[in-house]
Amino acid sequence: MAEINLMDQYPRSPRPIEERARLITDEHRRVARQFGEEFFDGDRLYGYGGYSYHPRFWQATVERLRDHYALRDDASILDVGCGKGFMLYDFKQLMPSANIVGVDVSEYAIDNAMEEMKPFLEVGDAKELPYDDGSFDLVISINTAHNLPLGKCKQAISEVERVSRGGSFIVIDAWRTEEEHERMLKWNLTALTYMHVDDWKKLFEEVGYTGDYYWFIAE
């Protein structure tokens, strides 16, 4: 298990944290947590404000993941919280023989996924993955488990561990300083479980997670 930033190739841009804090309400959060059309393709206050594919987002990151985990061309890869399948699309472009699978709680996301990805995606529950133990060479879960309440979040992380036979990498909401904590509270829209990085590390030990991880820090 290692803390490692495998998202360091993902494009970053300044977040309007103070503006969002002034505008979002509990109603925005309620709607966003349904992970439907409003979250993906509605107004920015409900989520992405339009969730569409662009190669600059994931191409460098999937190459980084492939190299870090020394994945074979025919590796099996699971994305838990796959959305519309953009990251898996880039994996398939990079590794055409890879066996890719994506699961997401959002029926809207799966229904509106990239057409060529739909055969590889399914609606599912992160805390009860429909796969056998040790099914995948790499299991990825980016900004997903923290959207569940604590008990279910633990289950989701345990499931990542269970279905992986080698590598796993998760990214979750966290903070290291009180300033980062304050920014997280202002920015948060969907997360139900977020905590200091040291508390996450204790949780990983508690649930037996042995994979890699990194943090989403609001900045």
Q: Which CATH superfamily is domain 57-216 in?
A: Vaccinia Virus protein VP39 (3.40.50.150)
pLDDT in tens, 19-58: 999 999 999 999 999 999 999 999 999 999 999 999 889 9
Task: Give the tokens for residue 37.
Answer: 């059309």
Contact 21, 187 (CB under 8 A): yes
In this predicted structure, what is the pLDDT of residue 219?
A: 86
pLDDT in tens, 62-105: 999 999 999 999 999 999 999 999 999 999 999 999 999 999 99
Provide the angle, in degrees to the nearest 10, between the axes of the packed helices 197-207 and 150-163.
Answer: 60
Q: Given 3-state DSSP classes, what are the helix, strand and coil percentages for the chain, each rounded to the nearest 5? A: 45, 20, 40
Q: How far apart are CA 104 and CA 83, in angstroms?
A: 6
Q: Is the pTM of this model over 0.85?
A: yes
State the residue for tokens 């925005």: 28
CA-based nearest residue to 35, from 20, 49, 44, 46? 46
Q: Predicted confidence band at 13 (pLDDT cuts at 50, 70, 90)?
A: confident
